[in-house]
A and B are shown apart, each in its own frame.
Chain A
């Protein structure tokens, strides 16, 4: 060829097996998108619980990323702490905490979530349990007083740890004092639903503001980052079972961490089944365990443990429901 030679023409083209193009989707993009979908709910909790809530979230995220980088450096693994996955874990852990916890709690929780639950199992893709939920469960067992002291929304900009204005969660009141007593806190049943939907109540940061969570979840569903199979089955199972046992299904959906858990934790790719049918079974199991704990267990809320217990069954469920191969079914 008489044209001016460039480096490629000297025979330096890249060779590899196809496909040679890709959709451009990446792990960081997925993680950032899910984190972004949590922003309305995070924003609402900052609005309700003040700057302290923001600080708890930031401490949780920063420590998660730091622990990931540290573990990877110590074990000599490739450092991928910037891929957004540790950040998302930190964000989810933070949203599982009350805004009133001392600042060392999210740090301890992040250490448990990232170092023990994720990195010791092999890092991204290899962990069996949802890291943020293990972090929360650890804190719940170790610091029950902090973890069950709930702030009443106040919108304070003070960073001091408030200890005066605390209140129980709706599910806590329901468990200890009953439905009528809970209802008496509101101007009627309709008002209760609206207040719960808007998140004007005590609870972990991510439990409040159901409407903001649903907004983020709708975005993820629309964009195809999550599918309906687990969240819808999970929530429907809780509602139906609660109604069967004489409870208020709407209260069951709107109170506690069900919406956060169903749309953002029980959809964590790594720890839930891959096959759609197995996902429905997973959602069903989560729903049953949640209601069992809420009605019969010692805790007022069971979403966290329900998801963690079902995480154990993920490999079994994926094996139990084999997908139909092309041409496998008899032709009609």
Chain B
């Protein structure tokens, strides 16, 4: 297959060396966790426990509210000591349940798995995934079951796993693919069963040779028989595939370029198809999930375990002993960093996620959430200071690197003058805020901030008008 990469993109120094070869280790059981009710896109969950309640690991502590929402679970066993507003890594304080550990780390009793999981009805599987609180773990945190429920008229042909991990510094996904490729591939098979597709793909950036090797070996074992009827389309002709046919999974090495792991850019690399502006991946027949999400789906379906822990990379010049850690959701950053030799004086900026799209944290008293792929402590030298930005000199570097083919230079200048509607005409809404434009800008212009602001102002205006 010929890989057609997208136009644009940047090559930041990858800085993955510190953790790329470090096996994942389990973090110490936290004494206390702060579990926010909103760790996903959509309506926040509603607490179903109160202060004083005893909870066990995996027990539901927050109920999903509406279709685009997921429940939240206790990540340790112990006692609820507070329900209220606490600092969240997403910015403003948010409702959270605080649990104090009883040190026993006991699973809830009612968690049941399924050994014969590929023969389950897709609707049953979707419900297990929703009830397990699974969201996109690459950072987007969109509820996984919603993505796996395309409308009937959308024919899905490609189930794609995202193992690109194109953000600098992060190695959590790469380590998962090396260490538990089996879980990931089983998760993909569950996704394929739900979507009734026979072609599965795993996209991995070409600089992760060990992950590609491990995943390719595991994908080679996939020759399981479909237990439900499905179909596929080739050259405009639809072929019905009765149960008993074979599924196949292919590992696709991707060009090393940021943002290769962006959904639309990944789909283009794997299928050659471009998702049109304003459309969703399902419009070209593709559904993408992160590799860590796939592993979580397997854990949920096979063993009945909800999403209560995740692997993240704790790294950067500000961290004394960088590590890949498996951490309970709700563990505070400071508790994690203290297990990594502590933070040092070089740290100027602490980011949840990668340095390109991650969220900077003012304090370390915030909890790990489902979408936290890393904690990166950047040094003063590498961390940009947005206060210093100058005028646009129209050099066009941002146009060259924009993966969406937009003109960030014009967008920035329009937004600076408050001309949001015109910015919309220039493709404001197509921007997914990868930050490549700001990365290359010689004037240090904060294009992503401009764009986020303009989108918010337009949303406010729309809300007012309706």
Contacts and interface: CB of A to CB of B under 8 A. Distances in A.
Contact of B449 (A3, A8, A13, A17): A17
A331 interface: yes
A327 B355 contact: no
Contacts of B358: 18, 20
Contact of B404 (A124, A269, A325): A325
A17 B384 contact: no
B20 interface: no
Interface in B244-286: 264, 272-277, 279, 284
Given A18-B359, A18-B448, A269 B384 contact: no
B385 interface: yes
Contacts of B360: 13-18, 20
B273 A20 contact: no
Interface stretch (B36-44, B55-63, B340-348, B457-465): B340-348
DSSP majority for the A interface? loop
Contacts of B378: 20-21
A184 to B, nearest CB: 46
Nearest to B365: A11
B438 A22 contact: yes
B399 A326 contact: no
Given A15-B361, A29-B442, A123 B391 contact: yes
A274 B351 CA distance: 33
Among A14, A29, A329, residue most surrounded by chain B Cβ atoms (within 10 Å): A14
Interface in B340-372: 342-345, 347-351, 355-365
B404 A14 contact: no
B284 A331 contact: yes
B382 interface: yes
B273 A331 contact: yes
Given A18-B448, A20-B383, A21-B383, A13 B439 contact: no
Contact of B393 (A23, A27, A325, A331): A27
Nearest to A83: B390
Contacts of B382: 20-21
A270 B264 CA distance: 32
B28 interface: no
A18 B353 CA distance: 10
Interface in A213-241: none
Interface in A4-38: 6, 8-9, 11-23, 25-27, 29-30
Interface residues of A, number: 41
B383 A14 contact: yes
A21 B12 contact: yes
A325 B362 CA distance: 36
B357 A19 contact: yes
B168 interface: yes
B440 interface: yes
- The winner among A17, A21, A25, A274 for most chain B CB atoms within 10 A is A21
Contacts of A11: 362-365
Nearest to B407: A323
A15 B363 CA distance: 9
B403 interface: yes
Interface centre among A17, A20, A30, A123 (most CB of B within 10 A): A20
B9 to A, nearest CB: 11
B435 interface: yes
A16 B399 contact: no
A269 B395 contact: yes
A162 interface: no
B177 to A, nearest CB: 25
A327 B277 contact: yes
Contacts of A104: none
B10 interface: yes
B276 A30 contact: no
A8 B348 contact: yes
A247 interface: no
B372 to A, nearest CB: 14
B141 interface: no
B394 interface: yes
A85 B371 CA distance: 44
A125 interface: yes
Most-contacted residue by chain A among B344, B357, B363, B446 (CB, 10 A): B363
Contact of B10 (A23, A29, A270, A324): A23
Contacts of B168: 21
A26 B446 CA distance: 14
A14 B12 CA distance: 21
Given A17-B448, A27-B390, A124-B391, A22 B362 contact: no
Nearest to A85: B393
Interface string A52-85: 0000000000000000000000000000100000
Contacts of A140: none
Nearest to B318: A8
B121 interface: no
Interface of B: 6-7, 10, 12, 168, 264, 272-277, 279, 284, 334, 338, 342-345, 347-351, 355-365, 378, 382-386, 390-397, 399, 403-407, 409, 427, 430, 433, 435-436, 438-444, 446, 448-449, 452
13 contacts: A3-B342, A11-B363, A13-B364, A15-B349, A15-B360, A19-B438, A21-B168, A22-B384, A22-B444, A23-B10, A25-B442, A274-B409, A323-B406
Given A11-B364, A20-B355, 10 more contacts: A8-B343, A8-B348, A13-B360, A17-B449, A19-B356, A27-B393, A80-B390, A270-B393, A326-B6, A327-B264
Q: Which 7 interchain pairs have the tightest Cβ spacing? A: A19-B435, A125-B391, A11-B363, A327-B274, A17-B449, A274-B396, A327-B276
